[in-house]
Amino acid sequence: MNKLNPKKLAGETAAKYVKDGMVVGLGTGSTVYYTLVKLGDMIQNEGLSIKGVTTSSFTTALAKELGIPLVDIDNVDKIDITIDGADEIDKNYNGIKGGGGALFFEKIVAKASNKVIWVVDSSKMVKTLGGFPLPVEVLPFGYSHVKSAIESKGITAELRKKDGRNVVTDSGNYILDLYVKEIHSIEELNEFLNNLTGVLEHGLFIEIVDTIVIATEETTQIIHTELNNK
């Protein structure tokens, strides 16, 4: 059997859920990249008519390059479907997102969507979240005090840097990466971070995803979480 690129397989499979006339949330990451490429092809060669809402400047640039029409999130009443990646997904279908730094916009778009699809390769499926560092987007003003407050809970927090400089998100903020190893009380950590002044958003995505497309080198698995809480 010929081995396939799992990310490409997952991304292209998710594109099949997109139908004519939809407003589509366009995620950020190496797997959803293939979804965007497929959607661009469907628009150019199959006459698909959609409008995209992007979650990052990178996705905006790519969508324009691929000929995907875009619309501002504040100019639509709803987003029909959002397709995005994830850094980890646990047995209860909660996820960690934000490895690419777009967690704030990704969560806003997800919360405004009727349906959320995550596309991942099988390595992203874990029993317990925490192996992947948990991103927390914070205001630059006073970020060191937010960092100290987090570390007072026994959590290692590191300011994300690239080439020796602080990483700045599309919304002009910093990212703290939390090294937890295993998150055994997701709700407790979620509440702590939500109530911490200076935190704009964090990468715990709880009870948000409706469908997960998981790919290996041979096949795809579709999981419907049957969430009805949005």
Q: Which residues are catalytic?
A: 106
Q: Which helix (H) or strand (E) holds 130?
A: none
Eight-state DSSP code of residue 181: S
Q: How buried is 58 (Cβ within 10 angstroms: 0-12 exposed, 13-18 middle, 19+ buried)?
A: middle
Give the span between the Cα atoms of 105 and 125, in whole angstroms: 23
Give the span between the Cα atoms of 163 and 149, in whole angstroms: 26
The string of DSSP codes covering 67-86 is T--B--GGG-S-BSEEEE--
- Cβ atoms of 90 and 96 closer than 8 Å: no
Give the span between the Cα atoms of 77 and 65, in whole angstroms: 26
Q: For residue 148, how many other CB atoms are within 10 A of its CB?
A: 11
Give the span between the Cα atoms of 177 and 125, in whole angstroms: 20
The string of DSSP codes covering 13-35 is HHHTT--TT-EEEE--STTHHHH
